[in-house]
Structure 1
């Protein structure tokens, strides 16, 4: 009797341990099966930031959820709020900027970081993939001593999920403080969760052309000469082709 009871107890403990192990492995797989890819397309100052997220195991249960990427743009990169508003009117992208007022004319050394919450759309070619694109622009930098390029490092974004409609949750998700609605259709905010992910690349680097300090005098002289020449041509054209009339008092 005692031996059979011990065997049944040992069997129950073994089954409970296996169930806990399988549950832990499932949660671990769900936490580790999220990958994100970040790319900077085009060349020069005006680029497109392309983000791709593959949820993998998590993606099978995210029906009714909204996926977004929260990224910090360093001072060397900015988003034009007027361009973004035009794209949102055309339903080409959806994003929230913090702060929402950005000085697009400020140089890099006078600018501040910008926080962007970029809503992602489902990828038709992949059932558990999401993607989004955002136009970004490089700022002017101060002249350098010995390099004609300044490097702007863009870290990988944070993957966020909001499941206000489905109520889905996972043990590996952490609540995130985000004051933004789940989608463009809702006005109120809801609870967002941060998902651990594995980046394909650690970071993206934007190369911005800059001038050299030793060329400052030459640039100033040439600029002054061109300004004087253009002003003289304008004055000569006005004197030659302009019509003047003297008004009697």
Structure 2
């Protein structure tokens, strides 16, 4: 009997909150959950994200950006991402040009922004590729670690209360979307800067806490060539190249002699027939 009374009280409290007492029934919004997983092997892999937002953020006119920093040892194919965007399988902001041929030691890190609207669950996929490292005489493999993503939210002024201080990583900071550089910059209001709606929307982003869950660490072991093997490999390559060239010349001359011999035999046969 006592437990039944407790259940009735809880149910009555819930109904009162729904019918008009919600202002007195504060329920904090849970931080978004981001599950990240990467393919296990190969130089060409995919970062798979599964996002989950709390119900109060779903169905609003809010927008999120998942910022993924990528180290210099990783590159993206802009043509590949362009095709995915054209097929509406990806909505992202990324550099317009990425040099895919340069080695890790001469490359620069960059970031990619994955964009969307908060849903209860959503899956995203970002194809990435690993660069080769310069040869070394001290190691045979290089460990590449991918940092955890950051999440930014932008809600209209009417729904700005949804992004509570407990949810925000830096309550005193607003961020501006820097699309050409695919990153966020701190919002520093300058004297004389117009307060247009476009500026307000572009600089109304907040970085929020996120519960990032990993099945395995975001690390990869990339093979590194041996610097001491450069000389023997170069000599072997030259010898192999010359050997193939000589074999091709000798084989071509033998074929030419065989063809000429057959032509001479046909001429002699035609002369005998006449």
**TM-score, normalised by the number of residues in structure 2:** 0.63
Q: Indicate which of 168, 171, 183 corresponds to 2:164.
A: 171
Q: CA deviation at 1:196?
A: 1.0
Corresponding position of 2:146: 154
Corresponding position of 2:81: 84
Structure 1 residues not aligned, in runs of 5+: 1-18, 182-187, 242-249
Q: CA deviation at 1:223?
A: 2.4
**1:90–1:221 CA distance, 2 compared to 1 (3 A):** same
- What is the correspondence of 1:75-224 to structure 2 with a 5 Å cutoff? 75-98=72-95, 100-120=96-116, 128-164=120-156, 167-169=159-161, 170-172=163-165, 173=168, 175-180=174-179, 190=202, 191-201=204-214, 204-224=218-238
Counterpart contact for 1:160–1:192, Cα < 8 Å: yes
**1:52–1:70 CA distance, 2 compared to 1 (3 A):** same
**1:222–1:63 CA distance, 2 compared to 1 (3 A):** farther
Q: Which has the higher helix share?
A: 2
**1:121–1:168 CA distance, 2 compared to 1 (3 A):** closer
Counterpart contact for 2:60–2:159, Cα < 8 Å: no
**1:117–1:223 CA distance, 2 compared to 1 (3 A):** same
Counterpart contact for 1:156–1:203, Cα < 8 Å: no
**TM-score, normalised by the number of residues in structure 1:** 0.69
Q: CA deviation at 1:50?
A: 0.9
The size of the alignment, in residue pairs, is: 206
**1:238–1:137 CA distance, 2 compared to 1 (3 A):** farther
Q: 1:234 and 1:121 mapped to 2: Cα distance?
A: 62
User: Computing the radius of gyration over CA atoms, which structure comes out larger, 1 or 2?
Assistant: 2
Q: 2:241 and 2:117 mapped to 1: Cα distance?
A: 49
Please give the root-mean-square deviation of Cα atoms over the aligned residues, in Å. 3.3
